Structure 1
């Protein structure tokens, strides 16, 4: 019997891992900073450091996000934008995705 439980647990873990790796958005966090990558799709969103950040639009150097109901514009190479005690900085913009940093 214990072997069946272990096999079932391993199968469940493998399915959960497959679902996680199939996710198109990516959040990687350290102690007080996260790197976020979201797909350039309408309504793509991610929860990071306690706030919801939604992708609104982008061109080659500027990204507009909705952060906690407030729209902000991030420009590549520019200073961070402060919202709700967090700093948002644009890292990169490609045809498929945008990457930004969020820090406390």
Structure 2
């Protein structure tokens, strides 16, 4: 098999791997890079997103603090707080508005 013929399967394998990594974010409200995602959820108790292989659900919020359920574990995030480790992921709060919350999830 010549070199060019070996490169084609390798290229397809690399492309499939890249798509699989990006598929870790499977919700419309999730924007991902390689190993970090930005999630925007409505302030609604039914709001959730699948991100980097785990489910993140909105629980409650006030002016500065949000409670999420991530990978089955409840976590409180406060504006300006360093990232919290949950289920092997780092989660930090970006924003809280009257209608939505925004947070970062990274590996």
Fold match (TM-score > 0.5) = yes
Shift of 1:91: 0.1
Other-structure match for 2:32: 29
**TM-score, scaled relative to structure 1:** 0.75
**TM-score, scaled relative to structure 2:** 0.73
**After the TM superposition, which parts of structure 1 deviate over 2 Å for at least 4 consecutive aligned residues?**
none
Other-structure match for 1:75: 78
Cα deviation 1:60-97 (Å, max 9, x = unaligned)? 11100011111000100011110111000000000000
Shift of 1:56: 0.1
Q: The residue matched to 1:72 in structure 2 has which SS? A: strand
After superposition, residues 1-104 of structure 1 pair within 5 angstroms as 26-104=29-107
Cα deviation 1:14-69 (Å, max 9, x = unaligned)? xxxxxxxxxxx610000110000000001211000000000000011110001111
Quote the Cα distance in structure 2 between the aligned partners of 1:29 and 1:55: 19
Structure 2: any 5+ residue segments left out of the alignment?
Answer: 1-27
RMSD value, Cα: 1.3
Structure 1: any 5+ residue segments left out of the alignment?
Answer: 1-24
